[in-house]
A and B are shown apart, each in its own frame.
Chain A
Amino acid sequence: MELKTIACRVRRSALQMIYHAGSGHPGGSLSPAEILTWLYARELGLDPARIDAPDRNRFVLSKGHGCPALYAVARHVGLLDPGQLSGFRKIDRDLQGHPNIGTTPWVETSTGSLGQGFSAAIGIALGLRHQQIAARTYVLLGDGELQEGEIWEGAMFAAHYHLDNLCAIIDYNKMQSDDLNANIMMLEPLREKWSAFGWQVIEIDGHDFGQIEKAFGEARETRGKPTVIVANTIKGQGISYMAGNPLWHGSVKLKPEELVRALRDLQTPEIDIEGYVNGSIW
């Protein structure tokens, strides 16, 4: 399947999950759809039958609230059964409101408290290198998440230990919970901050698969230091009424007509729309 098609379906599934759950974060689930699609469809090379292989590549969603997109991607690459998506945020079901290793073992570490997934990913990268395992570790950060002090503790640490098996991606959608980053706490100059901390910095359009492919290739070739990909994205990307509007950060309750409009924006075949809404299609 074409990457663009997968990303489009990821957006549909993510919004459908949030609709049926009655809560969840749409904006930050839509902005990283291409990056997550690339990671799971091309970069990580995971084998669902050997998901605990010691030499697998690792991915950590440090901005854990974006997990509808993670679960959606997992469903499209065979790590989850389609029917599992209906359990998102529901009692006695697997898909927790934030990633949880206990109920979804292919999740590498539980997240949801911003900043921690980054450190855990650094620990994974260090642990792999300590044991001379060649696998790589990827971690997706929110831009608002960068305001956590722990991020900069980790940034120093990863550079100090020359963790070139580690690649962080910043979902640079310029927004966080309440408002634009710039109005909450200034992040710029962002590239300069990371390179001053000793990281290889690559800036791309996070919705462009050509640029994504090139950036991940460069990260793989980088030696002696960790890489950060600053991915410029649009919060709510793909949905006309959400894109660029901080109000859709979440956690929100989607109305049926809002889901329908979103599905139309995502070129969902008219014949399937009813199924997404009533939960007969996942």
Chain B
Amino acid sequence: MAASGNRNEASAGGAPSLIGSSGDSLREAFGKALVDLARNRPEVVVLDADIAGGTGVHHFRKAYPERFYQCGIAEQNMMAVAGGMAATGLVPFVTTFAVFCLRAIEQARLSIAYCRRNVKIVASHPGLDVGPDGASAQALEDLAAFRAIPGMVVVSPADPLEMAQATAAIMNYRGPVYMRTGRSPARRVLGDDYRFELGRGRVLRDGSDVTLVACGVEVARALDAAQLLDAQGISARVVNMATIKPIDTELLVRCAEETGCIVTAEDHNIFGGLGSAVAEALVQTSPCPMEFVGVQDVFGESGEPDELAEKYGLTGIFIADAAQTAIKRKIAR
């Protein structure tokens, strides 16, 4: 007893200031929304692998301790346990960092998706948005990997408002879902009248020369790009494609036909994620010049999210440049 008391006194600043989920991050928005939404949904349980403070589900643990299951640092077991719990009628939200979802992807494939279990995999810390933890923690492959699993719905909301709405939507949807949240403070980009709908993209800003299709943190940057382009006399349409699978083909086809070229933007490898999903959707019916903004098939590194976005080409300027290229290719055709 005395020893532990001494330990506290010995640390000069008292309690350490932990860097957990707080402020306007998407993980925080998810964690708080989950508490509200689960109030009248006793079948909702949460599984955590020792990082509740990082994923935002510490709010849930506090509100409903009897519905919170600590799984220890054992993601593979956690993922398949979630499948088993869903088999008894519960609705498990499995939470960890996106990169550790990759570690348990085979469990998500067999014990969740192949069994069509009503499990929600909610992944914080996606992409370069992770920042200083560096490449080992920056999942740039998760959208590609989870998108390739049959029946898996894949969602990546853009701001805290949409995160809350998407959390409600996936809770009401019956089936397996993979949803990205986000680590760093997220900009509010959507108006109070915004309504998220699973499987639907939304036009956030109209335009006629090019369409910028983005998800997650890149939506705010696509809006920046549209402003930059506006100053250059280019009218850019911005689409928030929060559901990557199933993708809103109807909207994409309309955008391809009306604006004639497309730029995608995502905090993910350029291979297999949103850009690939958009290209797949369009190439069969309305192929048009496309440019892909994303991480160019490399690993990230330590740094602040904004610095990394700059270095790896994810900011508005890069999206605007890609739009210029796409427009040139359109005109050359």
Residues on A lying within 8 angstroms of B by beta carbon are: 54, 100-102, 108-113, 115-116, 118-128, 130-131, 133, 149-150, 153-154, 156-157, 160-161
Contact = CB atoms under 8 A, between A and B. Distances in A.
B77 A157 contact: yes
Interface in B100-145: 106-107, 110-111, 114-116
Contacts of A100: 114
B251 interface: no
B90 A154 contact: no
Contacts of B80: 116, 118-120, 123, 150
A185 B72 CA distance: 26
Nearest to A137: B84
A183 B329 CA distance: 62
Contacts of B45: 130
A203 to B, nearest CB: 25
A123 B87 contact: yes
In this complex, the member of B72, B83, B92 whose beta carbon has the largest number of chain A beta carbons within 10 angstroms is B83
Given A115-B76, A157-B74, A109 B81 contact: no
Contact of B89 (A102, A116, A131, A153): A131
A123 B85 contact: yes
A127 B84 contact: yes
Majority SS of interface residues in chain B? helix
B80 to A, nearest CB: 3
B84 A119 contact: yes
B270 to A, nearest CB: 30
B114 A153 contact: no
In this complex, the member of B69, B82, B110 whose beta carbon has the largest number of chain A beta carbons within 10 angstroms is B110
A128 B88 CA distance: 6
A113 B110 contact: yes
Given A109-B115, A119-B81, A154-B77, A124 B110 contact: no
B71 interface: yes
Nearest to A139: B84
A102 B115 CA distance: 7
In this complex, the member of A112, A125, A149, A154 whose beta carbon has the largest number of chain B beta carbons within 10 angstroms is A154
Contact of B84 (A109, A131, A160): A109
Interface string B19-63: 000000000000000000000000001000000000000000000
In this complex, the member of B76, B81, B82, B114 whose beta carbon has the largest number of chain A beta carbons within 10 angstroms is B81
Contact of A122 (B72, B81, B110, B114): B81
B11 to A, nearest CB: 30
A120 B84 contact: yes
A154 B72 CA distance: 10
Contacts of B92: 123
Nearest to B70: A160
A249 B76 CA distance: 27
A136 to B, nearest CB: 13
Given A54-B89, A122-B81, A161-B69, 13 more contacts: A101-B114, A101-B115, A109-B87, A119-B80, A119-B81, A119-B107, A123-B82, A127-B88, A131-B89, A150-B107, A153-B76, A156-B72, A160-B72
